[in-house]
């Protein structure tokens, strides 16, 4: 378990740009070291804002996109191409504009596909896909992702792990179907906390005044069942990337004065 580090930016636009630059560097370093990189994407306004900033960054061309594996932390269980699906939004923000290897883009299953409307079967299939990609060096049923990004909800949820619901209590499976989510759509697929913790680095993104209370709760020692964001951490690094509004209820002692 890595203790959280905080970086606070002036506003959400600067946060997105800085996070995109940080992600480019991390991917390029991983590719230089191993020949490839593995990243887990997140949806929502902050996740999509980061992808849009990455699309606009000239340094994006430093990445060898054909040697990048992309996964998702969660997905809305909706039909393929639905505008509310995280993968649909990611394609629009970035993915359609770069030269990815389609076999390395691991979207979560859509409803109405091979698994029909069975989110649990779709989740099990994604777990199998993760397990097939894991090697002996990963010491578990998921790859050791270089960076796993998560948006933090106003209720402290991350991925589709909501406070007190069964999915956040899962300790064995790596991917689960989520039913009765408190925000629409109610049916989703999500990585579990054990899968999230397989990542080398976990980055939690929070911007806006509506995220201030969630950041305060998650960083104040709350339990992961009540505050799922508190249970999201990486093997070597846990990084909270916030704007000033989201950090407004945090004591300055939690983050360095040099945060831009």
pTM of the model: 0.96
Show the low-confidence residues of the chain (pLDDT under 50): none
Output the six-digit token pair for 185: 């759509």
Cα separation, 13 vs 207, whole angstroms: 9
Cα separation, 166 vs 125, whole angstroms: 19
Which residues are registered as beta bridge partners of 37?
Answer: 68
Cα separation, 4 vs 182, whole angstroms: 27
Cα separation, 236 vs 4, whole angstroms: 10
Q: What angle do CA 211, 185, 121 make, to 5 degrees?
A: 115
Q: Summarize pLDDT for 48-61 with one digit per residue, the tens.
A: 999 999 999 999 99
Residue 259 has a pLDDT of: 53
Instruction: Give the list of residues 6+ apart from residue 141 with CB closer than 8 angstroms, or none.
Output: 127, 130, 131, 134, 174
Inter-residue contact 241 to 186 (CB < 8 Å)? no
Output the six-digit token pair for 33: 């070291």
Q: What is the dihedral of CA 62, 65, 71, 72, to 10 degrees?
A: 70
């Amino acid at each position: 378990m890595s203790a959280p580090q905080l970086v606070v930016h002036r506003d959400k636009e600067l946060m997105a740009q800085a996070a995109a630059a940080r992600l480019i560097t991390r991917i390029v370093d991983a590719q230089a070291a191993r020949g490839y990189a593995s990243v887990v994407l997140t949806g929502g306004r902050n996740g999509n804002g980061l992808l849009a900033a990455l699309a606009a960054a000239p340094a994006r061309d430093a990445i060898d996109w054909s040697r990048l594996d992309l996964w998702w932390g969660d997905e809305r269980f909706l039909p393929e191409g639905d505008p509310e699906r995280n993968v649909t939004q990611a394609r629009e923000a970035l993915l359609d504009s770069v030269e990815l290897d389609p076999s390395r883009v691991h979207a979560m299953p859509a409803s109405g596909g091979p698994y029909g409307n069975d989110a649990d079967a779709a989740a099990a299939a994604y777990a199998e896909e993760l397990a097939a990609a894991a090697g002996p060096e990963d010491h578990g049923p998921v790859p050791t992702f270089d960076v796993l990004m998560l948006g933090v909800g106003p209720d402290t949820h991350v991925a589709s792990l909501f406070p007190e619901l069964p999915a956040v209590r899962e300790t064995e499976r790596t991917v689960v179907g989520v039913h009765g989510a408190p925000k629409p759509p109610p049916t989703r697929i999500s990585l579990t906390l054990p899968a999230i913790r397989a990542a080398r680095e976990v980055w939690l993104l929070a911007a806006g005044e509506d995220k201030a209370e969630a950041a305060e709760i998650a960083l104040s020692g709350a339990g992961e069942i009540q505050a799922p964001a508190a249970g999201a951490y990486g093997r070597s690094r846990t990084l909270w990337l916030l704007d000033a509004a989201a950090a407004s209820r945090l004591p300055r002692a939690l983050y360095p004065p040099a945060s831009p």
